[in-house]
């Protein structure tokens, strides 16, 4: 009975409001979207690379700086993110500074503290408050569109990275939106059950938002760069404090057209990554009969502490630590996840694809050579320095390689809670596909196929 009731509700929703099932950004029908001012000849590895975070990685900590700063890498700053459903922000908190109450209308936020400590919180749509104290290496997920904040209560600066499952998550500052945009005093007084003088006092305290958010962020970046001096050989993240927030950029006409066509012809095909959810979060079924206790701790993941522990011995071979829905159940329905990638000198993350999300890799330490092949067979490669970012479009074959003499460490954000992994060598040569099929596919002979097969350990049965 219940099932058929929900089926009817679902069908009614699907028929009446197909756009409501979009997880985040509309999906694209190409590997990437070329901006209108560029031609295919302009698209090289550099197009997929963002270097705007380098100043923060090279900042002189003795210089004066704002109490709270955000550096963002969304579609507005990094056009290659268009259609890739993923973006980053870097948040830098001086002691006793706050990132004020705000929401992101188009994405959940997965915040990872990489230096210092932060107190965070959000309020769900039922009005329940969740708070948590985070230490270095901890991450916390803020569900899409809900009011949240971060606070550095300590005496040491703190730095965090946030990944979003949208190329343009958007930002609604609650104080500025409510008290800084000219909403009628009486409306606000009645809304807040207070008097007009109190509303006017609150309004006077809040500067109206800048007319053009993008120009403002450019000015902030240039101010930031003026504060910056290049500190060479900075190998570890320091106690930065800069921030940038996401501004929303209008979708270009191409993606709007593609979106409209998709919406008309095949509504279910337009789901960008994960299906959207109709609740703030989805609590999994009890494990071994023990229900999940949904407190601030439920939204927190401690599994990256080892990756951010600088006294831990370095990995001897390429290592990945994942924070996807399998390791961190609170990501269920939030369309965002992380992986921490550790590369000793000479190591490679072999050719693979992620079927359900683009990957936005941010190199935190060392140097990496990266590359991918698009579906037209074109190869794109790039050499990355610390602070650089590279986007690998969804489902394309890609790899990373540490050709340097020191270790490299990267953080990858995905616009899915379960991006999936297809290892190309293992999938092709390690799963028992018939030798003749492979020999014909690779235009080679059966002995060569058997040699390749012998070298690749079959994947574990449960994977
Ligand atoms: C794009 O490529 C064309 C042809 O090589 C070149 O003339 C033009 O300057 C390039 N545009 C940009 C923005 O790099
Ligand atoms: C950092 O700034 C301080 C104060 O201005 C200055 O004395 C110092 O030389 C700078 N350090 C570097 C590495 O530029
Ligand atoms: C940064 O410095 C340059 C050159 O010193 C100056 O022209 C520019 O106005 C400064 N920008 C800001 C935002 O202070």
Could you tell me if 344 and 416 lie in one domain? yes
In the structure, what pLDDT confidence band is assigned to residue 182 with cuts at 50, 70 and 90? confident
**Per-residue pLDDT, 458:** 59
**Per-residue pLDDT, 210:** 52
Please enumerate in sequence order all residues whose Cβ is within 8 A of that of 209, keeping only pairs 6 or more positions apart, or say none. Answer: 173, 176, 180, 181
Q: How far apart are CA 450 and CA 461, in angstroms?
A: 21
Answer for the pair 80, 391: CB distance below 8 angstroms, yes or no: yes
Please enumerate in sequence order all residues whose Cβ is within 8 A of that of 303, keeping only pairs 6 or more positions apart, or say none. Answer: 321, 323, 327, 328
Q: How far apart are CA 375 and CA 372, in angstroms?
A: 10
From 229, 234, 238, the mutation candidate for ligand 2 (largest count of ligand atoms within 8 A of CB) is 229
Q: Residues 353-410: pLDDT tens digits?
A: 998 899 999 999 999 999 999 988 888 999 999 999 999 999 899 999 999 999 999 9
In the structure, what pLDDT confidence band is assigned to residue 273 with cuts at 50, 70 and 90? low
Q: How far apart are CA 331 and CA 312, in angstroms?
A: 27
Residue 176 resides in a domain: no
Q: Residues 112-159: pLDDT tens digits?
A: 999 999 999 998 888 888 999 999 999 999 998 889 999 999 999 999
Q: Residues 306-365: pLDDT tens digits?
A: 888 888 888 899 999 999 999 999 999 999 999 999 999 999 999 999 988 999 999 999
Long-range contacts of 304-308 (CB under 8 A, 24+ apart): 304/112, 304/137, 304/138, 304/139, 304/338, 304/340, 305/135, 305/136, 305/137, 305/138, 306/137, 307/137, 307/340, 307/342, 307/409, 308/114, 308/136, 308/137
Answer for the pair 408, 343: CB distance below 8 angstroms, yes or no: yes
Q: Any binding-site annotation on 349? A: yes
Residue 255 resides in a domain: yes
Could you tell me if 351 and 223 lie in one domain? no
**DSSP H or E stretch at residue 149:** strand 147-151
Q: What number of helices (H) and strands (E) belong to the chain?
A: 10, 22
Please enumerate in sequence order all residues whose Cβ is within 8 A of that of 20, keeping only pairs 6 or more positions apart, or say none. Answer: 13, 276
Could you tell me if 319 and 394 lie in one domain? yes
Dihedrals φ, ψ of 9, to 5°? -60, -45
Q: How far apart are CA 367 and CA 313, in angstroms?
A: 19
Query: Which of 264 and 187 is assigned the larger pLDDT?
Result: 187
**DSSP H or E stretch at residue 379:** strand 379-384
Residue 77 resides in a domain: no
Closest ligand to residue 63's CA: 2
Could you tell me if 354 and 423 lie in one domain? yes
Closest ligand to residue 40's CA: 1
64 Cβ closer than 6 Å to some ligand 1 atom: no
* Beta-bridge partner residues of 365: 409
Whether residue 9 has pLDDT greater than 90: no
44 Cβ closer than 6 Å to some ligand 1 atom: no
Distances (CA, A) of 235 to 361, 369, 385, 407, 463: 18, 17, 11, 10, 36
Q: How far apart are CA 120 and CA 127, in angstroms?
A: 16
Mean pLDDT of the chain: 79
Percent of all residues in the chain with a pLDDT value above 90, rounded to a whole number? 48
How far out from the chain centre does Cα 271 lie?
18
> What CATH number is associated with residue 344?
2.60.120.10
**Per-residue pLDDT, 238:** 30
| Ligand 3 atom with minimal separation from the 220 CA | 13
Could you tell me if 233 and 320 lie in one domain? no
194 Cβ closer than 6 Å to some ligand 3 atom: no
Answer for the pair 168, 249: CB distance below 8 angstroms, yes or no: yes
Q: What is the pTM of this model?
A: 0.74
Could you tell me if 241 and 374 lie in one domain? no
Residue 160 resides in a domain: no
Could you tell me if 247 and 319 lie in one domain? no
Q: Any binding-site annotation on 354? A: yes
Boundary-marking domain end, from 203, 236, 269: 269
Closest ligand to residue 225's CA: 3
Boundary-marking domain end, from 269, 300, 335: 269
Could you tell me if 329 and 397 lie in one domain? yes
Q: In this structure, are strands 408-414 and 337-343 parallel, antiparallel, or unpaired?
A: antiparallel
Could you tell me if 265 and 391 lie in one domain? no
- Classify each residue of 223-244 as buried b or exposed e, where b means 16 or more C-beta atoms within 10 Å of its C-beta: ebeebbeeeeebeebbbbbbbb
Residue 114 resides in a domain: no
**Longest alpha-carbon distance in the chain:** 85
- Region 165-186: what's the mean pLDDT? 87
Q: Any binding-site annotation on 102? A: no
SS (H, E, C) 83-137: CCCCEEEEEEECCCCEEEEEECCCCCEEEEEEECCEEEEEECCCCCEEEEEECCC
Q: How far apart are CA 187 and CA 205, in angstroms?
A: 18
Could you tell me if 331 and 244 lie in one domain? no
Residue 212, Cβ neighbours under 10 Å: how many? 10
**DSSP H or E stretch at residue 449:** helix 446-455
Whether residue 83 has pLDDT greater than 80: yes
Could you tell me if 383 and 438 lie in one domain? yes
Residue 118 resides in a domain: no
Query: Which of 233 and 142 is assigned the larger pLDDT?
Result: 142
- Region 187-215: what's the mean pLDDT? 75
Q: Any binding-site annotation on 148? A: no
In the structure, what pLDDT confidence band is assigned to residue 1 with cuts at 50, 70 and 90? very low
**Per-residue pLDDT, 157:** 93
222 Cβ closer than 6 Å to some ligand 3 atom: yes
Task: Provide the domain count of the chain.
Answer: 2
Residue 283 resides in a domain: no
Q: Any binding-site annotation on 316? A: no
* CA 137 to centroid of ligand 2, rounded, Å: 29
* CA 55 to centroid of ligand 2, rounded, Å: 15
Answer for the pair 158, 173: CB distance below 8 angstroms, yes or no: no
Q: Name the residue with the closest Cα to ligand 3, atom 2.
A: 226
72-76, 136-140, 200-204, 224-228: least confidently modelled range? 224-228
Closest ligand to residue 215's CA: 3
In the structure, what pLDDT confidence band is assigned to residue 32 with cuts at 50, 70 and 90? very high
172-181, 394-403, 446-455: least confidently modelled range? 172-181
Q: In this structure, are strands 118-123 and 87-93 parallel, antiparallel, or unpaired?
A: unpaired
**Per-residue pLDDT, 434:** 87
Residue 275 resides in a domain: no
Q: How far apart are CA 199 and CA 275, in angstroms?
A: 40
219 Cβ closer than 6 Å to some ligand 3 atom: yes
**Per-residue pLDDT, 354:** 93
- Region 156-176: what's the mean pLDDT? 92
Please name which of 125, 165, 132, 415 lies closest in space to residue 298, comparing C-alpha atoms: 132
**Per-residue pLDDT, 126:** 85
Q: How far apart are CA 354 and CA 377, in angstroms?
A: 17
Q: Containing domain of residue 232, as a range?
A: 5-28+214-269
444 Cβ closer than 6 Å to some ligand 1 atom: no
**Per-residue pLDDT, 284:** 83
Query: Which of 125 and 215 is assigned the larger pLDDT?
Result: 125
Could you tell me if 234 and 329 lie in one domain? no
Q: Residues 84-105: pLDDT tens digits?
A: 999 999 999 999 999 989 999 8
39 Cβ closer than 6 Å to some ligand 1 atom: yes
* Ligand 2: lining residues by beta carbon, under 6 Å: 60, 62-63, 229, 231
């Amino acid at each position: 009975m219940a099932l058929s009731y929900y089926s009817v509700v679902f069908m009614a929703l699907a028929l009446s409001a197909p756009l409501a099932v979009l997880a985040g950004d509309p999906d694209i029908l190409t590997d990437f979207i070329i901006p209108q001012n560029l031609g295919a000849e302009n698209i090289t590895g550099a197009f997929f690379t963002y270097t705007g975070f380098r100043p923060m990685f090279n900042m002189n900590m003795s210089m004066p700086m704002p109490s709270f700063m955000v550096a963002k890498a969304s579609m507005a700053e990094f056009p290659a993110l268009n259609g890739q459903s993923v973006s980053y922000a870097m948040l830098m908190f001086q002691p006793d500074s706050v990132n004020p109450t705000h929401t992101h209308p188009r994405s959940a936020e997965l915040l990872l503290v990489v230096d210092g400590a932060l107190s965070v919180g959000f309020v769900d749509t039922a009005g329940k408050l969740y708070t948590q104290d985070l230490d270095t290496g901890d991450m916390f997920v803020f569900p899409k569109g809900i009011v949240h904040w971060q606070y550095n209560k300590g005496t040491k600066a703190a730095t965090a990275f946030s990944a979003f499952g949208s190329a343009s998550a958007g930002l609604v500052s609650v104080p500025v939106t409510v008290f800084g945009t000219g909403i009628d005093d009486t409306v606000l007084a009645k809304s807040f059950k207070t008097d007009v003088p109190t509303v006017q006092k609150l309004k006077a305290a809040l500067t109206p938002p800048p007319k053009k958010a993008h120009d403002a962020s450019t000015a902030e970046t240039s101010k930031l760069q003026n504060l910056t001096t290049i500190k060479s050989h900075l190998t570890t993240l320091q106690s930065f404090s800069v921030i940038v927030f996401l501004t929303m950029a209008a979708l270009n006409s191409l993606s709007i057209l593609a979106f409209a066509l998709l919406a008309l012809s095949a509504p279910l095909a337009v789901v960008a990554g994960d299906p959207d959810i109709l609740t703030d979060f989805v609590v999994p079924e009890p494990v071994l009969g023990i229900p999940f206790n949904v407190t601030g701790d439920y939204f927190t993941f401690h599994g990256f502490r080892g990756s951010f522990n600088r006294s831990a011995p370095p990995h001897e071979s390429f290592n990945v630590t994942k924070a996807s829905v399998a390791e961190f159940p609170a990501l269920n329905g939030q369309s965002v996840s992380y992986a921490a990638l550790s590369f000793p000198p000479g190591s490679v993350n072999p050719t693979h694809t992620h079927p359900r999300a683009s990957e936005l890799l941010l190199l935190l330490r060392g140097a990496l050579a990266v590359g991918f092949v698009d579906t037209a067979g074109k190869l794109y490669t790039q050499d990355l320095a610390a602070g650089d970012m590279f986007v690998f479009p969804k489902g394309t074959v890609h790899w990373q390689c540490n050709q340097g003499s020191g270790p490299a460490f990267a953080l990858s954000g995905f616009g899915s809670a379960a991006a999936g992994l297809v290892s190309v060598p293992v999938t092709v040569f390690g799963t028992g596909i018939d030798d003749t099929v492979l020999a014909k596919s690779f235009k080679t002979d059966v002995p060569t196929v058997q040699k390749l097969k012998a070298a690749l350990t079959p994947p574990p049965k449960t994977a």
